[in-house]
Amino acid sequence: MIIFKNVTKKFMTKTALDGIDLTLTRGKIIGLVGENGSGKSTTLKLIAGLTQPSSGQIMINGKKGSRTIAKEVSYLSELDEYYGFYNVGQTIDFHATQFPDFNLEKAEEIRTFMNLERDAKLKHLSKGNRGRLKIVLSLAREVPVVLMDEPLSGLDPMVRDSIVKGLISFIDLERQLLLITTHEIKEIEMLLDEVIAIKDGAIVGHHNVEKLRDERNQGIVEWMTDLYQ
């Protein structure tokens, strides 16, 4: 579903990704982990078509990565850019007009699960509740690829567990791929089918999480500790 062939991305003199080869398939929840500045967000932006590789090729669902790939990809950015004068319901309704694949019924189901009031003004929402709204808007799109960049950032630790469990309910693993970056590794480990570690723009590990536990007797945190020593 997602193929990187010798992908390099440079920003001026900085190399964000260096010769990446990667293949990801549908029906999986995959974690992309690494230190700040390692290339995680750049990887997601390349898949979403928000930036283009300096060299190499990216294919998403059989199509070359470009700005038009938004029809195939739902992208939750680490940034928060919504109209503050809208309320939650208006924001959901607005997104429904922008994306033909946006499922309003599903959005309302997720909104209820996230305990968000439709008439709550965005400018009055806490960072955590704005984060919940971002999850609603991302998961309500019925597209092959769902990207989430730090979706748990700013959420109260007391509610992260229930929200992580809710992610399972709202991803259609028969036809979707979820690629997620996060620093809250322990919270999402139970979700992940695969984990990819990236360091200084290079992939330094890519494993099936179950095999990692069975063959190496390691969780993701222990595996990463060995990699980054």
Report pLDDT digits (tens) over 168-227. 889 998 899 999 998 888 888 888 999 999 999 999 999 999 998 888 888 998 888 888
Q: Is residue 129 part of a domain?
A: no
Q: Is residue 16 part of a domain?
A: yes
Q: How confident is the model at residue 228 (pLDDT cuts 50, 70, 90)?
A: confident
Residue 210 confidence (pLDDT): 92
The mean per-residue pLDDT over the stretch 5-15 comes to 94
User: Which residues lie below 8 Å from residue 112, measured CB to CB, with a gap of 6+?
Assistant: none
CA pair distance 178, 75, nearest whole angstrom: 10
pLDDT digits (tens, 9 = 90+) for 107-142: 999 999 988 999 999 999 988 888 889 999 999 999
The mean per-residue pLDDT over the stretch 82-93 comes to 91
Q: Is residue 122 part of a domain?
A: no
Sole residue written with tokens 């990819």: 196
Q: What is the domain count for the chain?
A: 1
Residue 148 confidence (pLDDT): 94
Asked if residue 8 lies in contact with residue 192, where contact means CB atoms within 8 angstroms, the answer is no
Residue 92 confidence (pLDDT): 96
CATH code of residue 181: 3.40.50.300
User: Which residues lie below 8 Å from residue 172, measured CB to CB, with a gap of 6+?
Assistant: 142
Q: Is residue 108 part of a domain?
A: no
Q: Is residue 53 part of a domain?
A: yes
Q: Is residue 153 part of a domain?
A: yes
Residue 112 confidence (pLDDT): 94
pLDDT digits (tens, 9 = 90+) for 48-81: 999 999 999 999 988 887 778 888 999 998 877 7
Question: Residue 158 sits in which domain range?
Answer: 2-79+144-227
Residue 153 confidence (pLDDT): 79
Beta bridge partners of 194: 30, 208
Q: Is residue 138 part of a domain?
A: no
Q: Is residue 85 part of a domain?
A: no
The tokens of 229 are what? 């020593």
Looking at the whole model, is its pTM more than 0.75?
A: yes
